[in-house]
Amino acid sequence: MAVGVLALQGSFNEHVAALRRLGVKGVEIRKPEQLQSVTSLIIPGGESTTMAKLAEYHNLFPALREFVKMGKPVWGTCAGLIFLANKATGQKSGGQELIGGLDCTVHRNFFGSQIQSFEAELPVPQIADKEGGPPTFRAVFIRAPAILEVGPEVVVLADIPVSSNKADDPNLALESTEGSTGSREKVIVAVKQGNLLATAFHPELTADTRWHSYFLKMVDEVGEGASSSICAVGGEFQKSRTDLPVYQ
């Protein structure tokens, strides 16, 4: 099996390396015709405005939209999430072109600038159930977006509590949830809708390949000829730790 990785800018090399650890070849995609050689695609994190300009320069948007409409599995991480969203807020003047297909509204720089990058331990029950390993995932957020609203067909895979200043912002429509500590506000950071997977964080920057394995199983479920030998990550699983602050 070969998985396409959009290689215009950003962390495409890290995705290719993660796929290689699972015994899968990652094919770098830079031109529309190259999409014909793959049956699934990863859109990596990076600078979304720059990636959009390069995609427009190479006339990639029509081919990418057709790829999504054909039902082929596509996973967007960070900037890739923005690309897949039907609607994006918090954009620069003039905005940027989107691929669309994912029924959600994304806030482009919800968590702040580069220096406000952080790590957080996310409960991921559906990922742990399908891929094994711990019940949480150590997620790396770098100048990250967040999902503010989702449509009825979107399955939420992970969310995160937000800081008080975000919760008090009248321009943000945040979800409220009741827990053991009372009411709190949260935003969604990982979703699945049909053939589309999206994460606001960067699984490719960790040693935990469960999200990549989960995506490969989506390829198999869509019936695009994925190898049935791709197995869940079990006891050999490792977590990546760095000294970034955990978002409170």
Of 14, 78, 107, 212, the active-site residue reads: 78
108 is in an annotated binding site: yes
185 labelled binding-site residue: no
Q: Degrees (nearest 5) of the Cα angle 224, 227, 232?
A: 115
**105 DSSP β-pair partners:** 87, 149
CB-CB contact of 219 with 40 (8 Å): yes
Asked whether residue 143 is marked as a ligand-binding residue, the answer is yes
Phi-psi map region of 126: left, alpha, beta (phi>0 left; psi -120 to 50 alpha): alpha
SS3 per residue for 144-193: CCEEEEECCCCEEEEEEECCHHHHCCCCCCCEEEEECCEEEEEEEEEEEE
14, 119, 131, 204: the active-site residue: 204
Nearest to 146 by CA among 110, 122, 114: 110
Query: 189, 122 in Cβ contact below 8 A?
Result: yes
Residue tagged active-site, from 15, 107, 202, 212? 202
* Rg of the chain, C-alpha, whole Å: 17
Ligand-binding site membership of 179 (annotated):
no
Please confirm, yes or no, whether 202 is among the known catalytic residues.
yes
Please confirm, yes or no, whether 119 is among the known catalytic residues: no
184 is in an annotated binding site: no
Annotated catalytic residue 78: yes
Amino acid of residue 244: L
229 is in an annotated binding site: no
Return the number of other C-beta atoms located less than 10 Å from residue 41's C-beta. 22
Which residue positions form the known binding site for L-glutamine? 46-48, 108, 142-143
State the catalytic residues. 78, 202, 204
Which residue positions form the known binding site? 46-48, 108, 142-143
